[in-house]
Amino acid sequence: MIVTVTANPSLDRTLEVAGLRRGQVHRISAVHVQPGGKGVNVARALVSNGVAARAIVPTGGVEGRQLIALLTDYDIEVCQVPSAGPVRINVSVVEPDATVTKLNEPGATLSETEVSGLLDAILGNIADASWVVLAGSLPPGIDPAFYAEVIRRLDGRGIRVAVDTSGPALRAAVAAGPALIKPNREELEEVMGRKLPTVADIGDAARELRDSGVGAVLASLGGDGALLVDADGIWHAEAPAVVRSTVGAGDATLAGFLAAGAHGFSALRQGVAWGAAAVSLPGSTMPRPGDIRPESVRVRARIDGGRLLQAG
Ligand SMILES: Nc1ncnc2c1ncn2[C@@H]1O[C@H](COP(=O)(O)OP(=O)(O)O)[C@@H](O)[C@H]1O
Ligand SMILES: O=P(O)(O)OC[C@H]1O[C@](O)(COP(=O)(O)O)[C@@H](O)[C@@H]1O
Residue of 166, 202, 279, 285 to mutate, ligand 1, most atoms within 8 A of C-beta = 279
Positions of the chain with pLDDT lower than 50, given as ranges: none
Measured by CA distance, the residue closest to atom 6 of ligand 2 is: 37
Measured by CA distance, the residue closest to atom 9 of ligand 1 is: 222
> CB 273: neighbour CB atoms within 10 A?
25
- 110 contacts: CB under 8 Å, gap ≥ 6: 7, 58, 83, 85, 118, 139, 140, 141, 142
Active-site pick, 224, 251, 291, 304 = 251
Give the range of the structural domain holding residue 185, as residue numbers without chain letter.
2-20+29-300
Residue 142 φ then ψ, to 5°: -105, 140
DSSP output for 133-202: EEESPPPTTS-TTHHHHHHHHHTTTT-EEEEE--HHHHHHHHHT--SEE--BHHHHHHHHTS---BHHHH
Q: Is residue 80 part of a domain?
A: yes
SS (HEC) of 43-95: HHHHHCCCCCEEEEEEECHHHHHHHHHHHCCCCCEEEEEECCCCCEEEEEEEC
Q: Is residue 65 part of a domain?
A: yes
Q: Is residue 63 part of a domain?
A: yes
**What is the pLDDT at residue 304?**
81
Measured by CA distance, the residue closest to atom 17 of ligand 1 is: 222
pLDDT tens for 293-306 read: 999 999 999 888 77
**What is the pLDDT at residue 306?**
79
**What is the pLDDT at residue 312?**
63
CA distance 68 to 187: 29
**What is the pLDDT at residue 70?**
98
Q: Which ligand is nearest to the CA of 225?
A: 1
Pocket of ligand 2 (CB under 6 A): 8, 10, 12, 36-38, 41, 90, 104, 136-137, 166, 247-251, 284
Say what the pTM is. Answer: 0.98
Q: Is residue 309 part of a domain?
A: no
Structural domains counted in the chain: 1
**What is the pLDDT at residue 305?**
76
Sign of CA dihedral 275, 138, 159, 288: negative
CATH number reported for the structural domain that contains residue 287 in this entry = 3.40.1190.20
User: Counting atoms of ligand 2 from 1, which one is nearest the CA of 90?
Assistant: 20
**What is the pLDDT at residue 216?**
98
Q: Is residue 169 part of a domain?
A: yes
Give 128 Cα–ligand 1 centroid separation in angstroms: 31
Q: Is residue 213 part of a domain?
A: yes
Q: Which ligand is nearest to the CA of 8?
A: 2
CA distance 192 to 223: 21
Q: Is residue 310 part of a domain?
A: no
Give 204 Cα–ligand 2 centroid separation in angstroms: 26
Q: Which amino acid is it at 43?
A: A
Q: Which ligand is nearest to the CA of 135?
A: 2
CA distance 288 to 38: 18
Residue 291 annotated in active site: no
**What is the pLDDT at residue 300?**
95
**What is the pLDDT at residue 115?**
98
